[in-house]
Amino acid sequence: MSLAINPLMSLASNPPNYEPIAYLQNEFKNKDKFIDDGVLPFLEQILFPYLYKEARILDLGCGCGHLMQQLQLKGYQMTGIDASEGLLRYARINAPESEFILSDIRKFELPPTFNAIISIDVFIFILNNEDLTAVFRNVYTALQENGLFVFSIPLVELMHKLAGERYFNHIYINEECAFLELFYYQPEEKMWKIEVTGFELVEKTWKRSDTTWLRKDHLFTDVKSALENVGFREISHLNAGEGTGNTCFVCRK
């Protein structure tokens, strides 16, 4: 007798697959206006005032390195970690003076050398409390004493309401490529299935790529408990933007 496998859970053991759409991710996602209007103002308020000019910062899930490029220009010594070799190829181009590590953020091991660790819109892909605690433990180990950990994460308390009110699908397009993300909410699991399709014009022929991601919304109490369990103190949080469902946490080792 064969056992039925939940198709959502079959994707849960590995990081999201960005390889088929790495070019499109670099072309459209998490750059320019998103960084200038959505990320840097937060960091100017909650992180930069507590760092010296050449402080060492680790970016977890750095993707194509667009944020690292901006922080590198501000004089910070940047290191990025990502599980996608395809994304890191672009990151090395976008932030050439930074260092990069190919690793699953649930499994990396680094000595306590960083003044700050940041992670923006990455923990949406951490699908259970055990993995979230593992990431937090790795972060705690890699921070210097009194180091800061700043990250955004979607919370059930915010996203469950927004799921019934907002249209989350995304479409990006220019003359040479297109990128679509279709969101399907699974209320019982507090999880989203995201069907991703990309089109790229290659030698006058449209090339199609497809992948599927899972996104998890977390309970505030679970996030705070995981942070406390690995040793973080002075844990605070603030809304990461109206209508986003994300909360920004600021923690000190």
The percentage of the chain sitting over the pLDDT mark of 90, rounded to a whole number, equals 70
Mean pLDDT of 49-56: 94
Q: Tell whether the model's pLDDT for residue 201 goes beyond 80.
A: yes
DSSP character at residue 167: -
More confidently predicted of 202 and 164: 202
Q: Tell whether the model's pLDDT for residue 208 goes beyond 90.
A: yes
Tell me how far CA of residue 203 lies from CA of 137, 177, 200, 206, 244, in angstroms: 47, 12, 10, 8, 38
Per-residue buried b or exposed e for 15-31, using 16+ beta carbons within 10 Å of the residue's own CB: bbbbebbbbbbbbbbbb
Q: Which of 116-120, 179-183, 191-195 has the highest mean pLDDT?
A: 116-120
pLDDT value at residue 167:
66
CATH 3.30.70.920 assigned to 159-213: no
Q: Tell whether the model's pLDDT for residue 165 goes beyond 70.
A: no
The answer to whether the CB of 217 falls within 8 A of the CB of 163 is no
Give CA–CA dist 48/46, Å, rounded.
7
Among the listed residues 135, 87, 86, the one whose alpha carbon sits nearest the alpha carbon of residue 108: 135
Give CA–CA dist 43/145, Å, rounded.
20
pLDDT tens digits for range 15-28:
888 998 999 999 99
Question: Which sequence spans correspond to the domains of the chain?
Answer: 17-155+217-252, 159-213
pLDDT value at residue 164:
64
Give CA–CA dist 216/163, Å, rounded.
13
Retrieve residue 206's tokens: 């449209």
CB neighbourhood size of 70 (10 A): 20
Q: Per CATH, which fold does 17-155+217-252 belong to?
A: Rossmann fold (3.40.50)
